Structure 1
Amino acid sequence: MYYIEALVKTEEKNKFTIENIEKPKLEEKEVLVKVSHCGICGSDLHAANHDKGYEFVPKPIVLGHEISGTVIDVADKRDLDLLKNNVVIVPAKYCGECQQCLSGEFNICNNISGVGLHFDGGMAEYIKVLPEQLVNIPSSLSLEIAALAEPLSVAMHAVKRMKGDIKGKDVLVQGCGIIGLFTAIIAENSGANVTISGLERDEEHRLSKAKLFSIETEIVEASNKNMFHYIFECSGSSAALETAFNRIHKGGALIMVALYKDSINIPANIMVRGEIDIISSYSSLRVDIEDSINLLNTQENKFEELIDIYSIENGDLAFQHARHQKVLKPIIRL
């Protein structure tokens, strides 16, 4: 029996250990990926903290779904052409049979399950997946930056939900975590006039990164009165969502990208009288990951400024820094 090193989330809240676990054994149609890098996502933080809504996550578990690596083994000889490919992983498994899957809306599959949440993920030396979960990356893109493709795709999907009606429009992105910043970057690239907001405490490690991409910023605690055609809500703050409607032009829209642990009171009368739409966006599709890889490949030097790399031995510290927002995007190097 062959064992591999993994960062294991224990049964104790926010507690991790380095353990030797059994190397994944390939079953029919599966491929083995040697993990290079794995990002820490907000959902990983929620799962580690045993937050409400994450009760389904097993304990112990190897977290992580923002994965880059190299294919090193295949179960089916018909997949031999995949060997040695550098890839990122589509983290969701879909049933392919429900109404959403048959409509191509795989991200909202009725029977969806996720790498690193429903079963062991990428914070280990190896992971096994299906061939359809692989997206090739060009040789010109480093594996560490490629690990940003999955979170970038979430923002890519959110901006695409506007169906192109964004060029020349005034856009506010609420929340300067990595998804908020990525949403602002993609909206800016799409021709919008973008502002991203954050708290005063966010300025040093998070909000200031927007300047790398020439994106305007604002501090939430200031008296901000500018109005916007569209607001992307990426903060996860119920209060921020509720007050956002006061800054949306009539005929505009609020795009909900974050998830919320608290109840939300929506000002229905303001919405109705202003014909303000609410649009939701969840996860991403394969094409969004492909488009994200292309974007990363064109601006790799800028995206390098957004990440902090930690060894697996310092994985616990990476989670601490992420939890206390001391870094924008921690990535574990396997």
Structure 2
Amino acid sequence: MEQPLLESDGVLVRVAFGGICGSDLHYYRHGRNGIYELRSPLVLGHEIVGTIAEIAPGVPGDLLVGQAVAIHPAIPTPPPGGAAGHGLHLAPGGSYLGSASTVPHTPGGFAEFVRTTADQLRRLPEGLPLRRAALAEPLAVALHGVDRYEGDYAGKRVLVSGAGPIGCLAIAALRRRGAGEIVATDMWEEPLRVARMVGADEARRLGVDPPLADDAFDVVIEASGSPAATVSALRAVRRGGTIVQLGMLPDGELPVPLASLVSREVTLRGSQRFDVELDESVRILAHSEALDAVVSHVFPVEHARKAFETAADSRGSTKVLIEF
């Protein structure tokens, strides 16, 4: 394809890999992701890594053509090295690669080239394979979600509901945060196998293994985005415990028994994208070969439709990448 023209402050990145996110699947299959509805055609993709192809003359800093980079999808972008909690991801305005959250929509990175600003780029450590680095954005989402629980994870019993890509990366994040015991649940064996590989102490298949006890967990990370799973989390969490809703729930009214939440003083916290966690994510990936297991499939861009079909089948896939 023809290279996009650069603005005076722009950087052109040649895309190597793009990960298919649950939000991409929602747009692809339903034309919407939560409250964000497609109003015009949209290039998807926000889990993007590649190499710098061109730098506009007016760009300051020490970026070099050929450097391997991950892309922060948000514009404006939180400063590298900043303290988490700035909340720029929640500020009104701004845009996000491959998202219908603004009109006009912001094109994503499922392309041979993508235009970015220098602020969006995070240089990758030497030796970090681009295939693994493609997990940087979803791992940042998982880190942000796990840290929505404001207590100390040391000695805590944690349930991760849903062992898809975000659930498995949340397990890795919880292990890094020092969780005492991590239990993963899912409907299918393959994602549970990956959950064990990345740090789950126990993995239970729903409807096959014995059900979980009520009031058993200090924290529940709900990573499936299923309303039924959120209801189950209310039973699984202990009195005074915390549920983090990390999976994107469908828009509209949901049948959630809030009376149980009130009477048992359960804290329910939402989690939206991430802020500055991409920097920690890149550092973790540089030293975490075990996370290679989260990538189950890589398809060339010519087979993008097959990639989306595979990503939609959680029975046999976790993170699916498109290679450009």
Task: Please confirm whether the aligned pair reaches a TM-score higher than 0.5, indicating the same fold.
Answer: yes
Displacement of 1:112 in angstroms is: 2.9
Secondary structure of 1:330's counterpart equals: strand
1: distance between equivalents of 2:268 and 2:49?
34
Instruction: Tell me the alpha carbon deviations over residues 299-329 of structure 1, each in whole angstroms, 9 at most, x when there is no partner.
Output: 12x1222212111111111111011223111
Q: Are residue 210 (structure 1) and residue 210 (structure 2) matched?
A: no
Counting matched residue pairs gives 302
**Equivalent residue runs for 1:53-72 within 5 Å:** 53-56=35-38, 58-59=40-41, 61-72=42-53
The verdict on how the C-alpha distance between 1:92 and 1:58 changes in structure 2, with shifts beyond 3 A counting, is farther
User: Stretches of 4+ moved more than 4 A in 1?
Assistant: none
Offset from partner CA, 1:54-96 (integer Å, 9 cap, x none): 423631x321110111112122344362123211000111399
How far, CA to CA, are the matches of 2:173 and 2:6 in structure 1?
37
What fraction of aligned residue pairs are identical, expressed as a percent? 33
User: Bigger shift: 71-80 or 230-239?
Assistant: 71-80
Matched residue of 1:82: which SS? coil
1: CA distance, partners of 2:273 / 2:53: 28
Letter of the 2:269 counterpart: I
> Mapping of 1:280-299 within 5 angstroms?
280-286=270-276, 288-299=277-288
Name the structure 1 match of 2:14.
34
Equivalent residue, structure 2, for 1:330:
320
Q: CA deviation at 1:220?
A: 2.0
Per the alignment, residue 107 of structure 1 pairs with 89
Structure 1: gaps spanning 5 or more residues: 5-21, 97-102
* 2:141 paired with 1:154: yes
Quick one: structure 1 residues 164 and 223, their matched pair in 2 at CA, closer, same or farther if it must change by over 3 Å?
A: closer
Separation of aligned partners in 2, 1:28 and 1:247: 53
Q: Do the aligned partners of residues 78 and 189 (structure 1) sit closer, same or farther apart at CA in structure 2, a change above 3 Å counting?
A: closer
Q: Deviations over 1:245-278 (max 9, x none)?
A: 1111111111111111163233233222222111
3-state SS in 2 of match to 1:176: coil
Aligned amino acid, residue 174 of structure 2 = A
Gap change, CA 1:57 and 1:121, over 3 Å in 2: farther
Q: What per-residue deviation string (whole Å, max 9, x for no partner) do you get for residues 21-41 of structure 1?
A: x42110121111111111111
Residue 331 to residue 104, structure 1, CA distance change in 2 (3 Å): same
Greater mean deviation of Cα atoms: 86-95 or 131-140: 86-95
Q: Distance in 2 between matches of 1:236 and 1:304?
A: 24
Instruction: Provide the rounded CA distance (Å) in 2 between the counterparts of 1:78 and 1:115.
Output: 21
**Cross-structure match for 1:89:** 71
Runs of at least 5 residues in structure 2 that lack an aligned partner in the other structure: 79-84, 100-104
**Separation of aligned partners in 1, 2:139 and 2:199:** 18
Equivalent residue number for residue 195 of structure 1: 183
Distance 2:57 2:86 in 1: 26
Distance 2:17 2:131 in 1: 6
Paired residue type of 1:331: L
User: How well do the aligned residues superpose, as a CA RMSD in angstroms?
Assistant: 1.9
| TM-score between both structures, scaled by the size of structure 1 | 0.85
Q: For residue 168 of structure 2, what is the amino acid of its counterpart?
A: L
Residue 223 of structure 1 is matched in structure 2 by 211
1:47 maps onto 2:27 in alignment:
yes
In the other structure, the counterpart of 2:81 is none
The one-letter amino acid paired with 1:183 is A
